Structure 1
């Protein structure tokens, strides 16, 4: 599992860093000048290899899990990052989603962590999906109901609406199949069966809400044409796009570059895609020149080692 933790978390960070310079660019612009390697400057004027809040919050979550499963500690780590005390690439926060900012403000005021996330339909940005990956390694041997409950709690620190929770659940159930050795299309179809069966017998939301996931759970998202795949900051767009990019590519680099070049929320789509592709293809499939330029690479790899040792001892 050590290699999978490292390849998954580094997969998130490198995908994120590839997307940071072109965040908010339109798909048409990127078709004319596609991203093919790590770039510097751009949207946020950052050096090459700089990651955003996506990776920062993923690393905060991994850091917290090194101390065991504690929602108060997770929320505190998010607050410490927001105050630029931990897990920034260069000592300051340059990017944060509205819902995440609002939730962290509640954390600072002492709210119960799993009640800090917004619950309206408009609180369904991708801010919990982009950081949820480390939870996979903690819950991988849990029964499915316990897996769902933990995912719901961790998502709810910033995103409490059931659509965000189910998006995180689908993502991690898909990754769990990959972690257990399934080929990618087999993993996708197993995830569909598992999630639909669970939600049929554990009604956590309305049918209308379930229908939002029709393209993922009842159809094959990878069969849709690119123009039918959204890449905004909406959680459902991010989930669909990451699955589509991964299932329609044959390597880590192809998957994350496909994600970046969809445009709009480039860093997050690539971070989420990168988590899947990293675990599936392995650390050795991530281009070394991208790893070498990644900001705080040694700190990230040390964190991955610590998390592995902690989980080994549980």
Structure 2
């Protein structure tokens, strides 16, 4: 099983999703932790809490790239190999533009230190959702998606968020409408019930924190209420809070909807670390 087994024209589609996520992530990095309404993102800038140059992607994209690299190298899902690559990112700066990891989530760091995912109720950050999109382009089972999430985030809220997002991406890539894809795939767990009609909620009811369900809802809301890649990711960044991860997840979804060519060329040109991205796509 490789990236070739699920969807036609796989290389182009994978490229779109990976770059869609990376560009959204980089747009959001300078605004991470900023309060909604105190800024307006319109393009790539530097600075912010991490003080990074414009176009720098965060841990979100690094771990997504490590996921791609592992699947390509192993020809399928090997959670031990993925964990090893995640550790190389954390401890050696692999898959980063500057040779060092930044923006590391607490649950992710703890899981990689201890060798198994965190499964407490309070360990439901968005650290597995942000890297799960490439699995939509394989024929992995729901249980394999759960296992990949559980490398770092093993609680059912996190694992089922990942299963849901992979299913939605697959439906979108098959040409089914986004709103229908959301409705068809909502887990039975009542904690996911808010996703029914998510597109109709007012902006003030959309939360953009590090909690996985907030990130999932924010990304879906942005994609449902915009008509282009650029609109979607800037809308996600401008929600504030965990702006880079919201835009990373929204960016993967928007790129699945609109394709690689929908990503503004200027933003692609400004993205740092493209040689790392390309290495993980070949």
Please name the residue that 1:127 is paired with.
Answer: 127
Say whether 1:9 aligns with 2:18. yes
Cα deviations across residues 251-271 of structure 1 (Å, max 9, x unaligned)? Answer: 000000000000000000000
Q: Is the aligned partner of 1:181 residue 2:169?
A: no
Which SS does the other structure have where 2:37 is aligned? helix
Corresponding residue SS for 1:127: coil
Distance 2:93 2:34 in 1: 30
1:137 offset after TM fit, Å?
A: 1.4
| TM-score, reference length from structure 1 | 0.84
Offset, 1:85: 4.3
**How far apart, CA to CA, are the structure 2 residues paired with 1:253 and 1:157?**
32
Q: Which blocks of at least 5 consecutive residues in structure 1 are unaligned? A: 108-115, 197-209, 307-314
Q: 16, 34, 57: which is aligned to 1:51? A: 57
Aligned length: 271
Q: How does 1:266-281 map to 2 (within 5 A)?
A: 266-281=243-258
Matched residue of 1:212: which SS? helix
Matches within 5 A, 1:102-141: 102-107=110-115, 116-139=116-139
Q: Which runs of 4+ in 1 moved over 4 A?
A: none
CA contact (8 A) 1:177 1:191 kept: no
CA contact (8 A) 1:148 1:169 kept: yes
Whether 1:72 and 2:80 are equivalent positions in the alignment is yes
Residue of structure 2 in register with 1:251 after alignment: 228
Cα distance in structure 2, aligned partners of 1:136 and 1:14: 19
Asked which structure has the greater CA Rg, the reply is 1
- For residues 82-102 of structure 1, what are the alpha-carbon distances to aligned partners after superposition, in whole Å with 9 as ceiling and x for unaligned? 112410111111210000000
2-structure distance, mates of 1:225, 1:55: 29
The CA distance in 2 between the partners of 1:40 and 1:241, in whole Å, is 23
- Tell me how far apart the structure 1 counterparts of residues 280 and 79 of structure 2 sit (CA, whole Å): 19
Map 1:141-290 → 2, pairs under 5 A? 147-192=141-186, 195-196=187-188, 210-216=189-195, 219-290=196-267
Q: 5+ unaligned residues in a row in structure 2: which ranges?
A: 1-9
- Counterpart selection for 1:89 from 73, 76, 97: 97
Q: 1:60, 1:132 → 2: CA distance? A: 11
Give the stretch that moved more between structures: 98-107 or 180-189.
180-189
- Cα distance in structure 1, aligned partners of 2:20 and 2:224: 16
State the alpha-carbon separation in 2 of the partners of residues 135 and 152 from structure 1. 11
Question: Please, which of 258, 275, 282 is the counterpart of residue 298 of structure 1?
Answer: 275
The Cα shift of 1:224 comes to 0.6
Q: Structure 1, residues 217-260: CA drift from partner, whole Å, max 9, x if none? A: xx210001111110000001000100000000000000000000
